Chain A
Amino acid sequence: MENRILIIEDDAAIAQTLKLNLECAGYAVTSFDSGLTAWNALEREHNYDLALLDMMLPGVDGFTLLPKLKEYGIPVICLTAMGDAQHEVQGLRGGAEDYIAKPFDMLALLVRMEKILQRTGRLNRVYRFRDLTLDTANRKLTRNGAEIPLPPLEFDVLAVLMKNKNRTVSRDRILNEIWGQDYFGDIRTVDVRIANLRKKLGLAEEIRTISKAGYRLEER
């Protein structure tokens, strides 16, 4: 089951890019370009795991929509150009889980989204890639139902790649995801695990090395 994300953003260009990125990351995305249409649509359908809400909306603005979303139990991340403390406090007091000022970093947004989904127990913990299924809750990798045993480190590296399907992840980021920010390990550890994964799973083509950037698991 994919996580369902609601985007309420009036700037078409930003909404489009957000949608594109989130879909790549494996989310199901619904987006609205005005507060009013979002309000009306929510009355009918409110089965969302997370909402990205722009505060500066014409007509019904973000601060008005916030209680409505809370009512349906949808966690909210505020997106806004008003990056001052007062608005932030107002947004967070209003029940927002997090607050990101524009311009924001896509990767940062994705991480925050994941943390919130994890916190609210809504995070999808099963990732799929072609015939592979990775269950992070039970730490199990299966191919067409048959379990493939993997050493813990290789499992973690694969999990990072599958979580960020189609997105380039740097070696540093992989290390950080596995051991946290404080780890200063040898990044060649990652290269060794990647090589093993390619061999064991037959993903030599799919796990691409992006020069100077990192690795990417590509689904064509």
Chain B
Amino acid sequence: MKLKTKLTAICAVLLFLVAMALSGAMLWQIREQSYKTLTQRSEEKLAGLVNAFGEAVTRNYSAAGSPGSQKAVLQYCFRNCGVEGSVLAAMGELLSAPTQIDPRTYLDVHLTDGVQTARCSAGGKDYLIVGRAVELRQMECQVYLVSDASFISQELGELLVRFLLLALCICVLGLVGVRWLIFRTLAPLSQLQESAEHIADGNYAERVRVSSKDEVGLLAEDFNHMASAVESHIQSLTEQNIRQQLFIGGVTHELKTPLTSLLLNVDTLRTVYLPEEKQQALLESMDGQLHWLEQMVHKLLKLISLGKSAQIKPSSVPELLEQVKKMARQIMEKYGTVLEISCTADMLPMDEDLLCSALLNLIENSAKASAPGQTIRLRAEGNMLEVSDNGRGIPQKDLDRITEPFYMGDPSRSKVNGGFGLGLALVKEIAAVHKAVLDIQSTPGEGTTVRLVFPENGNQTVITR
């Protein structure tokens, strides 16, 4: 059941109960009031009756006489008073003409009591009985006045019908009001629900516009926060997905060219009659291509599994640079460049092998960009490692993308130099494993400076993966 319907139903029941209770209370009040008025009137009448009866008895009473005649006198006098509904009882006997009921069964009065009242119903009618005991000539007489009170319940019955109608009217009007109120209060919730549906449909930019400051407003605010969080998560996932697709696209593209060539060569060897030396040349070229492929797969594997195999522990930076120097000798000879090393750093938390390979990558990049005879500087200072050169530099448009796998500023030149476009991606990954920042500054024509900046507190913390 909807919240709206539920609340409306509860309100309807409550309204009806309240209306009924109020009606009941008012009816009770009216009934009591009517009885009170009737009692007052009856009491006055009774007082009059008793007086008149007393006087009549005094007038007509003769001292001598049998109890029988006494009774007759009382009867006579009482009948002369002629009050409707009055009943006289004396000496345990009913002396007056009987009314519909015998008041003595409902009300027992004694001399000491004064005026008494009682209510009763008999034969489908209500009665009010007022009674009093009086002493006349040493005789105790009970005088009752029985009045018909049926009109009260009749009136109440009519009133009850009216009250019921009134209660119904109140209920209906109240419900309309309540429904409107609930609708207004719950309107932001409906908006919220609509927005949630939109978001579920994939429209992650959807937000709720609720201006109220109540709980619903707060909920809407929180909902918007949640939607933002979801949106940014989805976005980062999408970006990651796109990056991965680009990466896979890159891998595929890189594999396609050597594979095309290899397939062609195999086909040629299979179908074409070739002289011995041409066959040999073809096989050698295929061998080269296969080695190139193998190397690329090796590098890719390294790139993918980097984070898992890293062993980071505090190591000596001078020792690292010494090792890099040894391994860089071959590169320096190949490109005819000079490596200059300066070191003021002491210890850094690192995986020596990985960092060595990162620095060698950077040095090789610098060597490729430099002319023979130029100097490449490797500098370690505090928590920073830096490789700089005076080579041709990197164009501004390539700077942002240069660390993407397979990105090459100028594809032809990299091919000539035997690159895969994976070097800087590898360096970036290694930097990330060390929680270090990779910073590349370059001015075309003047040179490039690449920095690996380790975290400040790096000297103390030991991170083990």
**Bound form: Cα–Cα A81–B411 in Å:** 14
Q: Does A21 contact B272, Cβ atoms closer than 8 Å?
A: yes
B264 at the A/B interface (Cβ < 8 Å)? yes
Using Cβ atoms and an 8 Å threshold, which residues of chain A touch B274? 20, 24, 166
B 388-435 contacts with A by CB, 8 A: 410-413, 415
Using Cβ atoms and an 8 Å threshold, which residues of chain B touch A14? 257, 260-261, 264
Using Cβ atoms and an 8 Å threshold, which residues of chain A touch B272? 20-21, 24, 166-168
B293 to chain A, nearest CB (A): 11
A218 at the A/B interface (Cβ < 8 Å)? yes
Query: B253, B268, B271, B412: which contacts A17 (Cβ < 8 A)?
Result: B268
Per-residue contact bits, chain B 266-286, to A (CB 8 Å; 1 contact, 0 not):
011011111000100010010
Q: Does B273 contact A216, Cβ atoms closer than 8 Å?
A: yes
A67 at the A/B interface (Cβ < 8 Å)? no
Q: Does A59 contact B271, Cβ atoms closer than 8 Å?
A: no
B137 at the A/B interface (Cβ < 8 Å)? no
B21 at the A/B interface (Cβ < 8 Å)? no
Q: Does B411 contact A102, Cβ atoms closer than 8 Å?
A: no
Q: Does A17 contact B257, Cβ atoms closer than 8 Å?
A: no
Q: A17-B264, A166-B273 are in contact. Are A58 and B412 (CB under 8 A)?
A: yes
**Bound form: Cα–Cα A103–B257 in Å:** 8
B23 at the A/B interface (Cβ < 8 Å)? no
Q: A10-B415, A34-B412 are in contact. Are A102 and B273 (CB under 8 A)?
A: no
Chain A residues bordering chain B, tally (CB within 8 A):
29
Question: B278's closest neighbor in chain A, by CB?
Answer: A20
Per-residue contact bits, chain A 193-220, to B (CB 8 Å; 1 contact, 0 not):
0000000000000000000010010110
**Bound form: Cα–Cα A167–B270 in Å:** 9
Q: Does B273 contact A103, Cβ atoms closer than 8 Å?
A: no
A13 at the A/B interface (Cβ < 8 Å)? yes
Q: Does B268 contact A103, Cβ atoms closer than 8 Å?
A: no
B265 at the A/B interface (Cβ < 8 Å)? yes
B263 at the A/B interface (Cβ < 8 Å)? yes
A130 to chain B, nearest CB (A): 14
B411 to chain A, nearest CB (A): 6
B256 at the A/B interface (Cβ < 8 Å)? yes
Question: A11's closest neighbor in chain B, by CB?
Answer: B257
Q: A10-B412, A10-B415, A13-B285 are in contact. Are A106 and B256 (CB under 8 A)?
A: no
Query: B259, B267, B270, B410: which contacts A105 (Cβ < 8 A)?
Result: B267
B289 at the A/B interface (Cβ < 8 Å)? yes
A18 to chain B, nearest CB (A): 7
Question: A208's closest neighbor in chain B, by CB?
Answer: B273
Interface centre among B256, B268, B278 (most CB of A within 10 A): B268
A 1-25 contacts with B by CB, 8 A: 10-11, 13-14, 16-18, 20-21, 24
Query: B256, B265, B289: which contacts A102 (Cβ < 8 A)?
Result: B256
Query: B263, B278, B410: which contacts A103 (Cβ < 8 A)?
Result: B263
A154 to chain B, nearest CB (A): 22
Using Cβ atoms and an 8 Å threshold, which residues of chain B touch A81? 253, 256-257, 260
A179 to chain B, nearest CB (A): 22
**Bound form: Cα–Cα A218–B275 in Å:** 11
Using Cβ atoms and an 8 Å threshold, which residues of chain A touch B257? 11, 14, 81, 102
A104 at the A/B interface (Cβ < 8 Å)? yes
A13 to chain B, nearest CB (A): 4
Per-residue contact bits, chain B 322-352, to A (CB 8 Å; 1 contact, 0 not):
0000000000000000000000000000000
Q: Does B261 contact A106, Cβ atoms closer than 8 Å?
A: no
Using Cβ atoms and an 8 Å threshold, which residues of chain B touch A219? 273
Question: B413's closest neighbor in chain A, by CB?
Answer: A58
B257 to chain A, nearest CB (A): 6
Question: B252's closest neighbor in chain A, by CB?
Answer: A81
Question: A59's closest neighbor in chain B, by CB?
Answer: B412
Using Cβ atoms and an 8 Å threshold, which residues of chain B touch A104? 260, 264
Q: A20-B274, A103-B264 are in contact. Are A58 and B285 (CB under 8 A)?
A: no
Q: Does A213 contact B271, Cβ atoms closer than 8 Å?
A: yes
B63 to chain A, nearest CB (A): 144
Q: Does A106 contact B273, Cβ atoms closer than 8 Å?
A: no
Using Cβ atoms and an 8 Å threshold, which residues of chain A touch B258? 13
Question: A15's closest neighbor in chain B, by CB?
Answer: B261
A206 to chain B, nearest CB (A): 10
B277 to chain A, nearest CB (A): 12
Using Cβ atoms and an 8 Å threshold, which residues of chain B touch A13? 258, 261, 265, 285, 288-289
Using Cβ atoms and an 8 Å threshold, which residues of chain A touch B268? 17, 20-21, 106
Using Cβ atoms and an 8 Å threshold, which residues of chain A touch B264? 14, 17-18, 21, 103-104, 106
Q: Does A17 contact B273, Cβ atoms closer than 8 Å?
A: no
Which residues of A are interface residues toward B (Cβ below 8 A)?
Answer: 10-11, 13-14, 16-18, 20-21, 24, 34, 56-59, 81, 102-107, 166-168, 213, 216, 218-219
List 19 other contacts, CB 8 Å, given A58-B412, A167-B272, A167-B273. Answer: A10-B412, A10-B415, A14-B257, A14-B264, A17-B264, A18-B264, A20-B272, A20-B278, A34-B412, A58-B410, A81-B260, A102-B256, A102-B257, A102-B260, A103-B256, A166-B274, A213-B271, A216-B271, A219-B273
CB-defined A-B contacts under 8 Å, sample of 19: A14-B264, A17-B261, A18-B264, A20-B274, A21-B264, A21-B268, A21-B272, A24-B274, A56-B411, A81-B260, A102-B256, A103-B256, A104-B260, A104-B264, A106-B264, A106-B268, A167-B272, A168-B272, A213-B271
